[in-house]
């Protein structure tokens, strides 16, 4: 359109997002788009908006300020709007308006941005109109587009490769979609198993889709036509395919009315200008405003703000001082902490160099070191991970050999050790002599070079490990949870996003005058902070300085949770690749010395290689003792051909889990072929049934020798306890039948009992009350074969049944939906689904204010009912009744009344029959705890005491007995030789309570051995109180250690974290945590922790 044809007035729409700025100029008369642009702002939102407005004013020279109006939306819009005279428009309103005007037949919208995800659904209301239901992700699930960017950088795909990815026909793997940090943890583990980038990205797309369909729809069904908006949906076809595939499945399952032979591409559409809808909507909103509103004020104020006017806004962001107090102090710091370049020894031509190699296959890089027999470093090679650990190892090993043989010498490898995420696969494929867990490797490296070390702080790409030593031995250790993972890589990826290589991070951060104060902990939250600080005008160098500044808080206040560093000692050794970054080191040194003024803080002179050095030192020890190495040889390694496969052909069928495995087929230059199998359990590491049975036999022996009462509890909780049937046969006379219709109705209800099929979800507090419910039902006459339980939690069950969620609560509550779904959609459906509401719970504890269930547990049965009746009654559709009686099990007389009222109305049982059934139900619960758990557990505990060995107590909630929720962590420890006790299995016989708690009762600290009011004054939450009491039990028993396990978003566990830890550690009892576990199973991270626990306990 020529300038002469342009309208008299134009309206500018700006969408200032977390990663991009989108702009449109439109003709208000006909909604034509006259100009548009979409660009990444590289953290410089005001600068990019200024650039756009300059371009727009140049493109429309005949439109002075008074003929141009500006409306702005997006996360960065509020702070910029007043600088240019614009009016801010809320994003959901903007997008909704654009859809309603340009696509009035659309039924729903899914928009993915850099930080936010939005779903908008238009539902028909009874009056024939449409009701808009918007939903946005919470802060915890933020970073949709940013996560795709970060993971894509990790797997190293170009933009063209990303856009060219397939979704259909690509093998998908379990990846967490709700959280970028969790997703990154999963991707790391899969990378180290050899999963190719195409499968990793397709799995990420699937995870994002599943997360949004299960949570962001809030239990509503998307309506066609569904529009896919936002950058990721617009530019990544595989993302579009993932949406189409999964939305069509939802419509099919829910029998949503669709056209005959529906075409997904017609029902789920990426419209023209999909990336601009928010900006377009801002313009359309502006058209409805008075003509004087949002007149363009020019760019002067914005230019002033960009150049000099940020100080006031920065102060509002909570400014801290710079990383250094003065140039002199910084110079002094650099002189002390800059690691001098290591001079490797030179070798003579013809010399044979005998050396031991340590390989650290980390999350972001692979390191190899060459040591002489005394552990002196004589060679090293480092390379960023390309994603395949075998290929990465070949690169670093070739580099090592070249560093020696380029001098004319010959390298003779005497032994090899491996550590890091890829340690086990490397040990198998290259014939390493030892695979050492990372915590141990880092300890070895620190103690080899430094004396009298008190604390080792290792910050790698993904993990933070803090190891506390006493007299040269590990006394305690802390590892990051999933929530605090990825700190090192976060610094690297943020630096890269700002256009700086990580090597320049410190120089840039040190130049910053002032820095913003980040919230510590979660990388997703810090990502959100970056967006907020950009809006406040903080520059890239200041944000980088702020990230370095917050690192020690992440380490000490979030991971270690110990503000009093002085109690840990005074000599700190900093290790890990992140310690090469002097800005990160400066922040840590200042933090430590502020807490411990006389502290000696040392950066390991080989900080990046410390893990590799540690496993190399162990290889020296192992091979000197054995006299030989298992290493396949350098030529064989460098010529090693391999093929990695993980698909349906590798699936294991040795148990009902049917897990996928990774097959790695290798071939040496000499023609030797071997297959290595990476599996989730030992049985899956073989293909031959006979070998599997041999392995199973050994595992069964271990299970017998080291009982797992968590597993026993999970299975016996849902067994039949064969009660006596109390239902009496009713034979009323003819007159009664004719004259008393109420009696007749009662008889018809009672007649149902003999054939009624009742299903119950294997979820939540059913793991502590299951025997009560099954026994009660059997006692009133329900046949045991007609009592059904849902399956144990597994990935397939959750994936199939989780899409009706309306809120994003803890995983144990969310998965309850899937358990009810499992009961509804099985071949043999129940007549009734019984999901009781346990208002209060039985407990053996005393002196409590009450014995209440968790509010989320109490509310979940109602939430489930609402989810399955929100858009039509699914229960009624399948001929199922949904029963959710409220029961106060802490008050047996009240429970008896509640049960009679509920079941009497539905099944016609009498007051006497109900009372007799209740009595047996409570008795079965007691039998379950006393006879099946506590009595055999007492025998095991006695044997531990006799043998002076250790057992592990799982400090968790009842539903963590579900192997799908505890991720079989306790089974890993059981296989390492530790009996596992559940809370309900801890013996409470008088003599053992006397032994454990007599001293506390005697001095009056507690009124009874089963009381906790010495550590928690106002106890009313049953499961929280039981954890605290069990922690006391562990702290006082010399043969028990605590393993504290809790779910992500557990509001009742979070307040007692510190209390549980203080109780256990006060007696110097070992205590370990697995906090923030969720639906994803980070196998690699779990393995590091369990192996470290085993090493620690066997010292």
Tens digit of each residue's pLDDT (9 = 90 or more) over 1011-1047: 999 999 888 899 999 999 999 999 999 999 999 998 8
Condensed to tens digits (0 to 9), the pLDDT of residues 1062-1088 reads 898 888 888 888 887 887 777 777 888
Would you say 185 and 176 are in contact if contact means Cβ atoms under 8 Å apart?
A: yes
End-to-end CA distance of the chain: 79
Name the one residue in this structure whose structure tokens are 């004319």: 408
- Report CA 505 to chain centroid distance, whole Å: 28
Decide: helix, strand or coil at residue 33.
strand
Would you say 545 and 515 are in contact if contact means Cβ atoms under 8 Å apart?
A: yes
Q: What is the per-residue pLDDT for 313? A: 56
Closest CA to 410 of 348, 318, 475: 348
Q: What is the per-residue pLDDT for 320? A: 64
Over range 814-822, report the average pLDDT.
93
What letters, b where the CB count within 10 A reaches 16 and e where it falls short, cover 823-848?
bbeeeeebebbbbbbbbbbbbebeeb
Radius of gyration of the chain (CA): 32
Q: What is the per-residue pLDDT for 318? A: 53
Closest CA to 86 of 136, 52, 44: 52
Strands 662-667 and 641-645: antiparallel
Would you say 408 and 348 are in contact if contact means Cβ atoms under 8 Å apart?
A: yes
Q: Has residue 11 got a pLDDT over 70? A: yes
Q: What is the per-residue pLDDT for 399? A: 94
Q: What is the per-residue pLDDT for 15? A: 95
Angle, nearest 10°, between helix axes 180-192 and 197-211? 150
Would you say 632 and 430 are in contact if contact means Cβ atoms under 8 Å apart?
A: yes
Closest CA to 119 of 131, 133, 129: 133
Tell me the HSE value of 332 on the side-chain side, using a 13 A CA sphere.
Answer: 7
- Global pTM reads 0.80
C-alpha distance from residue 905 to each of 586, 885, 899 (Å): 71, 12, 10
* Contacts of the segment 1059-1067: beta carbons below 8 A, 24+ positions apart: 1059/1015, 1059/1016, 1059/1028, 1059/1031, 1060/955, 1060/1027, 1060/1028, 1060/1031, 1061/561, 1063/1015, 1063/1028, 1063/1031, 1063/1032, 1063/1035, 1064/1031, 1064/1034, 1064/1035, 1065/476, 1066/1035, 1067/1035, 1067/1036
In terms of C-beta density within 10 A (0-12 exposed, 13-18 middle, 19 or more buried), how is residue 653 classed?
Answer: exposed
Q: Which of 53-67, 709-723, 981-995 has the lowest mean pLDDT?
A: 53-67
DSSP state of 851: -
Percent share of the chain, pLDDT over 90: 56
Q: What is the per-residue pLDDT for 617? A: 96
Q: Has residue 736 got a pLDDT over 70? A: no
Q: Has residue 197 got a pLDDT over 70? A: yes
Decide: helix, strand or coil at residue 473.
strand
Q: Which of 12-21, 96-105, 739-748, 749-758 has the lowest mean pLDDT?
A: 739-748
Would you say 874 and 823 are in contact if contact means Cβ atoms under 8 Å apart?
A: no
Closest CA to 930 of 1068, 771, 1089: 771
Closest CA to 426 of 358, 369, 355: 358
Task: Give the DSSP letter string of 942-956.
Answer: HHHHHHT--EEEEES
Question: Taking the CB of residue 244, how many other CB atoms lie within 10 A of it?
Answer: 21
What is the distance between the alpha carbons of residues 374 and 792, in angstroms, rounded to a whole number? 52
What letters, b where the CB count within 10 A reaches 16 and e where it falls short, cover 189-218?
bbbbbbbbbbbbbbbbbbbbbbbbbbbbbb
What is the distance between the alpha carbons of residues 772 and 723, in angstroms, rounded to a whole number? 11
Q: Has residue 129 got a pLDDT over 60? A: yes
Position 139 confidence tier, pLDDT thresholds 50, 70, 90: low
DSSP H or E run through 869:
helix 855-869
Would you say 354 and 541 are in contact if contact means Cβ atoms under 8 Å apart?
A: no
Condensed to tens digits (0 to 9), the pLDDT of residues 316-332 reads 545 568 899 899 999 99
Of 254-263, 355-364, 399-408, 517-526, the range with the highest mean pLDDT is 399-408
Position 609 confidence tier, pLDDT thresholds 50, 70, 90: very high
And the tokens for 109?
Answer: 């919208």
Q: Has residue 83 got a pLDDT over 60? A: yes
Condensed to tens digits (0 to 9), the pLDDT of residues 639-655 reads 988 887 777 788 888 87
Q: Has residue 735 got a pLDDT over 50? A: no
What is the distance between the alpha carbons of residues 146 and 137, in angstroms, rounded to a whole number? 14
Name the one residue in this structure whose structure tokens are 């238009």: 122
Question: Taking the CB of residue 470, how many other CB atoms lie within 10 A of it?
Answer: 11
Name the one residue in this structure whose structure tokens are 């719970």: 841
Q: Has residue 520 got a pLDDT over 50? A: yes
C-alpha distance from residue 503 to each of 149, 382, 636 (Å): 21, 14, 34
Over range 520-532, report the average pLDDT.
77
What is the distance between the alpha carbons of residues 885 and 906, in angstroms, rounded to a whole number? 11
DSSP state of 791: P
Position 311 confidence tier, pLDDT thresholds 50, 70, 90: low
Q: What is the per-residue pLDDT for 732? A: 56
Q: What is the per-residue pLDDT for 120? A: 92
DSSP state of 598: T
What is the distance between the alpha carbons of residues 1049 and 400, in angstroms, rounded to a whole number? 46
Q: What is the per-residue pLDDT for 676? A: 82
Q: What is the per-residue pLDDT for 140? A: 60
DSSP state of 407: T
Condensed to tens digits (0 to 9), the pLDDT of residues 198-250 reads 999 999 999 889 888 877 888 888 999 999 999 899 999 999 999 999 999 99
Q: Is 962 left (phi over 0), alpha (psi -120 to 50) or beta?
A: beta
Question: Could you tell me which residues are beta bridge partners of residue 354?
Answer: 412
Q: Which of 273-277, 446-450, 644-648, 876-880 has the lowest mean pLDDT?
A: 644-648
Q: What is the per-residue pLDDT for 521? A: 74
Q: Is 367 left (phi over 0), alpha (psi -120 to 50) or beta?
A: beta
Strand residues in 945-1061 grouped as ranges (E): 951-955, 980-981, 1040-1047
Condensed to tens digits (0 to 9), the pLDDT of residues 108-128 reads 999 988 878 889 999 887 777
Rounded mean pLDDT of the chain?
Answer: 88
And the tokens for 735?
Answer: 């007159």
Closest CA to 819 of 797, 834, 803, 804: 797
Position 982 confidence tier, pLDDT thresholds 50, 70, 90: very high
Q: What is the per-residue pLDDT for 731? A: 61
Question: Could you tell me which residues are beta bridge partners of residue 470?
Answer: 473
Q: What is the per-residue pLDDT for 1? A: 45
Would you say 176 and 186 are in contact if contact means Cβ atoms under 8 Å apart?
A: yes
Pinpoint the alpha helices (H) of 90-236.
91-102, 144-155, 159-163, 180-192, 197-211, 231-235
Q: Identify the sign of the CA torsion 769, 775, 779, 781.
A: positive
What letters, b where the CB count within 10 A reaches 16 and e where it falls short, cover 955-982?
bbbbbbbbbbbbbbbbbbbbbbebbbbb
Position 806 confidence tier, pLDDT thresholds 50, 70, 90: low
Position 496 confidence tier, pLDDT thresholds 50, 70, 90: confident
Decide: helix, strand or coil at residue 867.
helix
What residues have CB less than 8 Å from 1067, skipping those under 6 apart? 1035, 1036
Q: Has residue 192 got a pLDDT over 80? A: no
Condensed to tens digits (0 to 9), the pLDDT of residues 23-48 reads 999 999 999 999 999 998 877 888 89
What letters, b where the CB count within 10 A reaches 16 and e where it falls short, cover 471-510?
eeebbbbbbbbbbbbbbbbbbbbbbebbebebeebbebbb
Closest CA to 148 of 192, 189, 209: 209
Angle, nearest 10°, between helix axes 610-626 and 438-449? 90
């Amino acid at each position: 359109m020529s300038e002469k044809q342009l309208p008299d007035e134009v309206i500018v729409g700006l969408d200032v997002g977390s990663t991009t700025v989108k702009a449109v100029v439109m003709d208000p008369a006909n909604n034509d788009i006259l100009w548009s642009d979409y660009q990444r702002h590289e953290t410089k939102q005001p600068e990019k908006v200024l650039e756009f407005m300059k371009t727009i004013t140049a493109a429309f020279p005949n439109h002075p300020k008074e003929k141009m109006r500006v409306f702005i939306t997006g996360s960065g819009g509020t702070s910029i709007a007043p600088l240019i005279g614009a009016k801010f428009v809320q994003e959901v309103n903007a997008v909704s308006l654009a859809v309603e005007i340009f696509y009035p037949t659309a039924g729903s919208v899914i928009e993915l941005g850099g930080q936010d995800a939005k779903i908008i659904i238009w539902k028909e209301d009874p009056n024939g109109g449409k009701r808009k239901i918007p939903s946005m992700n919470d802060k915890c699930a933020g970073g949709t587009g940013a996560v795709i960017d970060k993971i894509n950088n990790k797997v190293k795909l170009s933009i063209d490769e990303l856009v060219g990815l397939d979704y259909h026909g690509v093998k998908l793997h379990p990846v967490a979609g709700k959280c970028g940090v969790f997703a990154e943890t999963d991707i790391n583990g899969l990378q180290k198993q050899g999963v190719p980038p195409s499968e990793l990205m397709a799995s990420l797309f699937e995870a994002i889709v599943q997360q949004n369909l299960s949570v962001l729809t809030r239990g509503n069904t998307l309506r066609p036509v569904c529009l896919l908006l936002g950058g990721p949906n617009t530019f990544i076809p595989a993302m579009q395919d993932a949406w189409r595939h999964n939305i069509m499945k939802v419509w099919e399952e829910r029998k949503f009315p669709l056209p005959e032979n529906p075409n997904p591409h017609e029902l789920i559409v990426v419209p023209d200008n999909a990336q601009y809808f928010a900006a377009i909507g801002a313009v359309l909103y502006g058209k409805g405003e008075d003509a004087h509103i949002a007149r363009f004020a020019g760019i002067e104020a914005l230019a002033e703000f960009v150049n000099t006017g940020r100080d006031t806004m920065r102060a509002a962001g909570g400014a801290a001082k710079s990383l250094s107090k003065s140039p002199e102090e910084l110079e002094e710091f650099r002189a002390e902490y800059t690691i001098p370049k290591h001079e490797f020894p030179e070798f003579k031509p013809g010399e044979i160099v005998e050396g031991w190699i340590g390989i650290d296959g980390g999350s972001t890089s692979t390191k190899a070191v060459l040591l002489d027999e005394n552990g002196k470093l004589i060679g090293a090679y480092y390379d960023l991970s390309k994603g395949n650990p075998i290929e990465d190892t070949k690169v670093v090993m070739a580099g090592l050999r070249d560093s020696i043989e380029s001098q004319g010498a010959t390298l003779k490898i005497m032994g090899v050790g491996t550590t890091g995420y890829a340690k086990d696969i490397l040990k198998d494929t290259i014939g390493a002599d030892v695979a050492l867990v990372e915590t141990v490797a880092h300890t070895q490296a620190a103690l080899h070079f430094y004396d009298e070390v008190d604390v080792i702080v290792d910050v790698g790409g993904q993990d933070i490990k803090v190891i506390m030593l006493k007299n040269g031995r590990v006394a305690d250790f802390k590892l990051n949870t999933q929530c605090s993972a990825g700190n090192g890589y976060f610094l690297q990826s943020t630096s890269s996003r700002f256009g700086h290589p990580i090597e320049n991070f410190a120089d840039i951060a040190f130049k910053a005058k002032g820095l913003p104060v980040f919230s510590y902990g979660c990388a997703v939250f810090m990502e959100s902070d970056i967006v907020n600080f950009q809006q406040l005008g903080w520059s890239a160098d200041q944000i980088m300085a702020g990230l370095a500044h917050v690192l020690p808080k992440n380490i000490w206040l979030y991971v270690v949770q110990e503000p009093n560093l002085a109690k840990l000692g005074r000599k700190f050794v900093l290790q890990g690749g992140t310690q090469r970054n002097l800005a990160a080191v400066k922040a840590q040194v200042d933090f430590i010395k502020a807490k411990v003024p006389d502290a000696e803080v040392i950066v390991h002179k080989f900080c990046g290689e410390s893990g590799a050095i540690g496993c190399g030192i162990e290889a020296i020890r192992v091979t000197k003792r054995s006299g030989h190495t298992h290493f396949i040889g350098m030529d064989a390694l460098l010529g090693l051909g391999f093929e990695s496969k993980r698909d349906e052909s590798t699936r294991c069928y040795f148990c009902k889990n049917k897990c996928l495995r990774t097959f790695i087929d290798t071939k040496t230059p000499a023609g030797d072929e071997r297959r290595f199998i990476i599996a989730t359990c030992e049985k899956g590491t073989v293909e031959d049934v006979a070998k599997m049975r041999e392995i199973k036999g050994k595992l069964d022996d271990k299970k017998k020798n080291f009982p797992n009462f968590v597993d026993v509890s999970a299975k016996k909780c849902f067994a039949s306890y064969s009660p006596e049937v109390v239902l009496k046969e009713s034979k009323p006379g003819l007159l009664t039948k004719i004259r008393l219709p109420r009696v007749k109705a009662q008889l018809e209800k009672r007649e149902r009992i003999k054939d009624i099929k009742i299903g119950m979800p294997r979820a939540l507090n059913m793991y502590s009350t299951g025997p009560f419910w099954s026994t009660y039902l059997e006692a009133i006459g329900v046949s045991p074969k007609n009592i059904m339980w849902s399956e144990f939690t597994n990935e397939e069950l959750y994936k199939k049944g989780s899409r009706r969620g309306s809120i994003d609560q803890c995983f144990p509550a969310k998965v309850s939906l899937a358990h009810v779904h499992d009961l509804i959609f099985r071949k043999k459906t129940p007549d009734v689904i019984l999901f009781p509401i346990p208002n209060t719970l039985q407990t053996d504890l005393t002196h409590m204010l009450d014995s209440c269930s968790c509010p989320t547990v109490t509310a979940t049965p109602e939430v489930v009912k609402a989810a399955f009746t929100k858009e039509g009654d699914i229960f009624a559709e399948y001929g199922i009744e949904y029963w959710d009686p409220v029961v106060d099990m802490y008050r047996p007389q009240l429970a008896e009344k509640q049960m009679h009222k509920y079941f009497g109305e539905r099944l016609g049982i009498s007051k006497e029959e109900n009372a007799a059934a209740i009595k047996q139900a409570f008795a079965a619960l007691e039998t379950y705890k006393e006879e099946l758990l506590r009595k055999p557990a007492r025998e095991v505990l006695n044997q531990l005491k006799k043998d002076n060995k250790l057992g592990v107590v799982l400090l968790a909630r009842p539903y963590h007995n579900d192997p799908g929720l505890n991720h079989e962590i306790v089974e890993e420890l059981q296989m390492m030789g530790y009996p596992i006790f559940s809370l309900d299995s801890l013996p409470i016989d008088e003599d053992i309570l006397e032994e454990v708690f007599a001293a506390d009762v005697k001095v009056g600290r507690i009124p009874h051995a089963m009381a906790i009011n010495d550590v928690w004054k106002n106890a009313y939450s049953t499961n929280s109180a039981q954890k605290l009491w069990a922690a006391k039990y562990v702290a006082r028993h010399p043969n028990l250690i605590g393993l504290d396990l809790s779910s992500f978003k557990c509001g009742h566990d979070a307040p007692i974290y510190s209390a549980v830890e203080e109780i256990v550690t006060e007696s110097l009892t070992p205590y370990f945590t697995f906090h923030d576990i969720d639906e994803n199973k980070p196998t690699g991270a779990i393995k590091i922790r369990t192996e470290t626990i085993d090493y620690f306990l066997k010292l």
